[in-house]
Amino acid sequence: MKKIPLSASGPQMKDFVSSAAPTWCEGCGNYGIWSALKQVLVELKLQPWQVLLCFDVGCHGNMADKLLGYRIHGLHGRVIPLAAGAKLANPGLPVIAVGGDGASFSEGVGHLVHAVRSNYPITLLMHNNANYGLTTGQASALTKKGERMNSSPNGIPEETLNSMDFVFSLKPTFVARAFSGNVPQMVQIMKAAITHRGFAYVDILQACPSYNHFATQEWLEEHCYSVQESKKKYDTSDFDLARKTAVDTSKKIATGILYQAKAVPDFIERLQPRKNRKTTPVEEVAITDISRWMERFI
């Protein structure tokens, strides 16, 4: 008798299940992001061994051992160059960097600037809960001005950084905004981001029930709308429209794929020495004959 194919071929959600139990607070947006990430890997038909997930340090970084896949859990603020270096070594493997707003807009903000201008072919999933959750609720650069936070008993005196205005000022090639409460939309966005030609910036508004009392789950649910689902036609290739739509959050917050420039070559494509190479730097490790360069010193 012919064997009945009861299990679908390709990876499944269970292939990404880790033995480590989640440690996030009840109601934390990380649960949604975690589910969406696993689901998108499955939908992209990636086995756990076919992806490198790089984690920064923060509440999001505690995801590093809560799912399978090749993972590296590095230093606070440094996930972008870590992921970029890995990608340069093996451009064939999808590389996803996961960071928070503390890491990406304070400690490691310089890396974000240069990742955008370099257009490394990696994805940054930026968990935006507008505070430092793991260190128990200090203000980040994205915390609302005047908000009273741990170590800012009088409210924070600094201006709030508009993450979208900042990123758009750098001429990005992919910008999206998601909401941790909308898993199906996150899956769609992440899929587009991971398959994008260059650096994909995904700003994920995330509920933090413990420390963020200004942009709560309910508040975000009320304010977020998807540009892809809105009645007005939205053109993701229109930079000026995208910037305007993304930056203005006074009444509603636009989510979805906000901007994508598909024709811009990524960093590796721009490297002259790597043109027409069939191998990756990982495959090229070998004792190399240096005679031709040595002779020039005679």
Partner 1 sequence: MQRVSLKVVGAQGQGVNSVGEMCAKGLKRAGYCVFGYREYMSLIRGGHSSYQLDIASNHVRSSETHVDVVVCFNNNGIRTNLHDLKESGILIHQTAQWKFSPEEAELISAKHLKIIELPTIDILRTLNAKPILGNVLITAVVWAILKRKPEELKELVTEQFGHKKDLLTQNFSCIEEGFAFHGNHAANICVILPEPNAQWCKQLLLTGSHAMGLGIVHAGCRLYAGYPMTPSSPLLTYIADLQNETGMTVKQAEDEITAAQMMVGAMHMGTRAITATSGGGFDLMTETLSLAGITETPAVFVLAQRPGPGTGLPTWTAQGDLLLAVHAGHGEFPRLVLAPGNSIDSFDLMPEAFNKAEEFQIPVIVLTDKHLAEALFTQKPYDQKRARLRRGSLVTDPVKLKTLKASDRYDPSATDGISLRWLPGSEAATYCAQGDEHDNEGNSVETAENATEQMRKRMKKMEALAASLPEPDLSGSAHPEILIVSWGSTKGVVEDILGDEVCKGRQIAHLHYAYLWPLKTQRFEALAKTARRVVCVECNHTGQLSMLLKRACGTGPTDQILKADGRPFFYDELKEKLLPFLRP
Instruction: Write out the residues near partner 1 by the rule CB under 8 A.
Output: 18-20, 47-50, 52, 54, 57, 62, 64-65, 68-75, 78, 81-90, 92-93, 110-111, 113-114, 271-274, 277, 280-282, 284-294, 297-298
Measured from the CB atom, the residue of 65 and 147 that comes closer to partner 1 is: 65
**Residue 1 or 286 having the CB closest to partner 1:** 286
- CB closer to partner 1, 23 vs 230: 23
Nearest distance from C-beta of residue 68 to partner 1, angstroms = 5
Residues 61, 75 contacting (CB under 8 angstroms): no
274: its two tokens:
């790597």
- Please state whether beta strands 52-55 and 70-73 pair in parallel, antiparallel, or not at all (unpaired): parallel
Q: How far is the CB of 50 from partner 1 (least distance, A)?
A: 7
Residue 20 CB, nearest approach to partner 1 (Å): 5
Cα separation, 80 vs 110, in Å, equals: 10
- The whole-angstrom separation of Cα 187 and Cα 248 is 24
Q: Which residues contact 63 (CB under 8 A, 6 or more apart)?
A: 30, 33, 34, 37, 55, 98
Evaluated on CA atoms 18, 22, 27, 33, the torsion sign reads negative
Single-letter residue type at 176: A
Amino acid present at 297: F
Cβ 298 to partner 1 shortest distance, Å: 6
| Beta carbon nearer to partner 1, 4 or 298 | 298
CB of 107 to partner 1, least distance (A): 10
Tokens 């995904």 sit on residue: 202
Is there a contact between 128 and 100 (Cβ–Cβ < 8 Å)? yes
Which candidate, 183, 171, 187, 166, places its Cα nearest to that of 259? 171
Nearer to partner 1, 38 or 78 (CB): 78
Q: Is the Cβ of residue 75 or residue 241 nearer to partner 1 in the bound state? A: 75
Cα 274 to chain center, whole Å? 26
Q: How far is the CB of 166 from partner 1 (least distance, A)?
A: 16
